[in-house]
Structure 1
Amino acid sequence: MKRLFASVLTLSALAFTPACGDDDAPPNNPNNPGNPDTTEDVSANITQDTTWKTGHTYTLKNYVFVESGTLTIEPGARILGDEGSALVITRNARIHAVGTAQNPIVFTSSRPEGARAPGNWGGVVLLGKGHVNVAGGENTVEGFFASEGNELTRYGGGASPDATHDCGVLNYVRIEFAGFELAEDNELNGLTVAGCGSDTDLDFIQVHKGADDGIEFFGGSASLSHAVVTQADDDSLDYDLGYNGSIQFLVIQQNSQVGNYGIEASGNRNDNAATPRSAPEIWNATFIGSGRQSGISPAQAGMVFNTGAGGKLNNVIVAHFADFAVDVSGTASAALWNAATPELYLRNSFFWSNRGDTASIPAAPNPTVDSSGNITNPDASNFDEPAKVLASGLNNRVMDPQLTDARNLTAPDFAPAAGSPALNPDNAATPPAGFDPSARFVGAVGSENWLAGWTAFPEN
């Protein structure tokens, strides 16, 4: 923890440093030895349009804030993070990081290959002026002390949020070995998207081996597509505070040692009735657990919806989670499922071998206890997951999706095998306008493997 406190103490000093970079005697980085003129340390905040170039390596030495202007990152640029570093795009700036399938942009640890681990550095943070369902419409992003009170860590549009606010572009980007916990419930994730609007472009993004959540949305309406989150220490996708964007083509994979939920969906923990609701629409997703022994703490589960959060999920695979597939936790989220116009549902989806069950899905009761630890209510939510999720009319079923090698941690293949029922269009629905309507299959991957070429799954 000492390193984290030291890093945040640099925040006030960073706000007054000049634009970008440190050109003197750049290091010979073990991850990318290169020539001296292609490596650069970055320790100062960025206050004007700046470009990080193809073939160059940039090492973040601490928290680097893009205060204004656009940070452009060219295909193939490599960004390394030192201990206690992170890249933060403030709400008065933008990022334009566009790689290619052949030449992705890679954010990773500055430690040499073989010595890298989750939490080596902080990750990437995008802050915008969209809606956030908290009092005043603004908040300080997680991973920083609220006492800092610094404009550089604020997000949300206040009383006049901009639903379309453009935080920038991330295309063909990998983020590895990032994230750390500053304090309980105050963490940096691999990718944090806070208050970003619908004009934000997040497409072909992988977050691998993050120390906290893979991707977390705080409010806003940014959309996400072709996303891969592998082996996160906590939740793979986390959203809260009114996030209501759209997501299509999402792959999540957990290992047997770490990982909590494939999705943790929350509303506002202080006000479960706060609006707008956290209720994104999600099409074509694959959630893969490790099949480890049940009962290990923390629980390993496909998805949990709590504190008034919803989600509209379609054409989804949920398989091999140790404890349960779906948990609708609390009466506020249960009410969204039971509403005449539901804001929480799963449709046209496959469930397989969750807690080893190949005939149904496990129940996920939410008991309440008194001060002595005695159970006073065996299920306060009063939500029967097997009955509700597998009810007729939703077209959900317990069925083996026959994925090629989805639980392989170093060379996974999430594509359905030939003849898989996931490829049968009769088992899926057609995505609506705003989504790719050709994805008439169950899960994130159909006959074309969009993960090929730009993703990677290093152990360390």
Structure 2
Amino acid sequence: MKKFLLGMVLATAFLATSCGDDDSTPQPVEGAITGPITTDTNFAYGNYTLSGIVKINSGVTVTFEAGSTITCDKTTGDNALVVLKGGKLIINGTASSPVVFTEASKVPGSWGGIIMYGDAPINAAGGVATATSEDGNNQTYGGTNATHNGGQLSYVRVEYAGAKLADGTKENNAFTFYSVGSGTVLDHLVAYKGADDGFEFFGGTVSATNLVSYGNYDDAFDWQDGWQGQNNSNWYAYQISKANFGMEIEASSNNNTYFPVITNISLIRAAGTTPEVAGDVQVDAIQFKKEGNGNFSNIIVDGYGSYTEGTTVYEGAALKIQDAATNTDQVNTGRIKINNIKISNTSHEILPASSSFSVSMPSGSWSTSTTATGASLSNGNWTTVDGVQLIN
């Protein structure tokens, strides 16, 4: 039955792009996407319904053409698009014709987003080189293939993700990358109003450019398990309504000497934004914990001020060091570098999470600026939702 449905989708795509009043302006096709996908498949420009946890099998390449919209419906059960290790996802959106993955109810936390697995190196809790995903798919990730290629995602927007799948122990993000390698291209991606993180990396070596995280409930950007992408730039976060850290950074409690490199970052928290969960106050722009580290430059931080819960006032910081081990092993050794950072409407520059230790950034590891520019991105159809432009 699945082969018959896929055949109908492809046949419809051929007719829609071959017949019509103007062959140069193809009409969108309509079709259903179910899984697993076991053969190379091209989804022509169109409007599709994605049903279930659709898995792209190893050895299979799936392509979506520019301008397509893929819609899930949470009332049908768990939904997600999953690229298994060895599979490839090619999404060829453009600034004027992005590929949009959304959910019918427009409620954050309604589906699982895009999840990709690879076999690039990781350093998970306990120092192990492989681990099992906590997303409900129970996939093994991690390996030795630093140049793993999971495909190309260009001008893609994922909306209203953040659901738990099956028996998963945590919510999924808009984009989740498990041990994805440097051969994968991630460029001009938007994570919009999800119930967990906008983007999360579990180890791997992949880099990402031109990212927008808008209105996600947890962290705008998050990573662990020794992620070490080296060519990241133009990361923009706008946190509204409720949200936690702008960036939450950890290395799964493994002392390490590698670190990711990111240039041109904007972290903006709108006035009135509250923590995701009452009693769990996370209101800082950049937090390092569990031996996390990184080299960041040309940064804008705005809006991480005070938050009052009950009678307690919590004051946000541009940089929060969560634990003494991270301070000793990463801060003091110069493995955390935050340079050319412009800070406004934020209570503190640097704070320790506890009075049991103090943070003193080594020479060359911290510098503020009045001229930092942050992310450099332009609005277009790829960053416009319901008439609202996401980049301020």
Q: One fold, TM greater than 0.5?
A: yes
Deviations 1:404-441 (A, max 9, x none): xxxxxxxxxxxxxxxxx34xxxxxxxxxxxxxxxxxxx
Post-superposition offset of 1:139: 2.0
Of 342, 346, 351 in structure 1, the residue corresponding to residue 343 of structure 2 is 351
Post-superposition offset of 1:362: 4.9
Does structure 1 residue 324 correspond to structure 2 residue 317?
A: yes
* Change beyond 3 A, Cα 1:51–1:145: closer
Q: Distance in 2 between matches of 1:163 and 1:108?
A: 31
Post-superposition offset of 1:348: 1.1
Indicate the residue corresponding to 1:388 in structure 2.
361
- So what's the TM-score if we normalise by structure 2? 0.82
* Change beyond 3 A, Cα 1:21–1:450: farther
Alignment: residue pair count:
350
Indicate the residue corresponding to 1:366 in structure 2.
353
Q: Distance in 2 between matches of 1:450 and 1:325?
A: 25
Indicate the residue corresponding to 1:67 in structure 2.
57
Tell me, yes or no, if the aligned pair for 1:18 and 1:45 is still in contact at 8 Å. no
Indicate the residue corresponding to 2:267 in structure 1.
287
Of 164, 169, 181 in structure 2, the residue corresponding to residue 197 of structure 1 is 181
Partner-residue secondary structure (3-state), 2:195: coil
Post-superposition offset of 1:210: 0.7
Aligned letter for 1:396? T
Alignment of 1:15-414 (within 5 A): 21=5, 38-54=29-45, 56-68=46-58, 69-83=60-74, 84-109=78-103, 111=104, 115-134=105-124, 136-144=128-136, 146=138, 153-157=139-143, 161-181=144-164, 186-246=170-230, 247-255=232-240, 257-268=241-252, 271-273=253-255, 275=256, 277=258, 279-292=259-272, 297-322=280-305, 323-334=316-327, 335-339=329-333, 342-355=334-347, 361-367=348-354, 378-379=355-356, 382-384=357-359, 388=361, 394-397=366-369, 399=370
Q: Distance in 1 between matches of 2:110 and 2:384?
A: 18
Indicate the residue corresponding to 1:436 in structure 2.
none
Indicate the residue corresponding to 1:432 in structure 2.
none
Post-superposition offset of 1:198: 0.7
Tell me, yes or no, if the aligned pair for 2:117 and 2:180 is still in contact at 8 Å. yes
- Between structures 1 and 2, the one with greater strand share: 2
Deviations 1:185-240 (A, max 9, x none): 62211000111111110001111001100000000010100110001110110011
Post-superposition offset of 1:143: 1.5
Aligned letter for 1:213? D
RMSD value, Cα: 2.8
Tell me, yes or no, if the aligned pair for 1:121 and 1:178 is still in contact at 8 Å. yes
- Aligned sequence identity (%): 28
Post-superposition offset of 1:136: 4.7
Q: Distance in 2 between matches of 1:20 and 1:221?
A: 39
Stretches of structure 2 lacking an aligned partner (at least 5 in a row): 10-26, 306-315
Stretches of structure 1 lacking an aligned partner (at least 5 in a row): 1-16, 26-35, 147-152, 356-360, 368-377, 400-420, 423-441
Tell me, yes or no, if the aligned pair for 2:98 and 2:381 is still in contact at 8 Å. no
Q: Distance in 2 between matches of 1:443 and 1:362?
A: 17
Q: Distance in 2 between matches of 1:351 and 1:338?
A: 22
Indicate the residue corresponding to 1:444 in structure 2.
375
Post-superposition offset of 1:138: 1.9
Q: Which moved more, 1:325-334 or 1:72-81?
A: 325-334
Indicate the residue corresponding to 1:6 in structure 2.
none
Deviations 1:354-396 (A, max 9, x none): 13xxxxx2553323xxxxxxxxxx33xx233xx639x788431
Aligned letter for 2:325? A
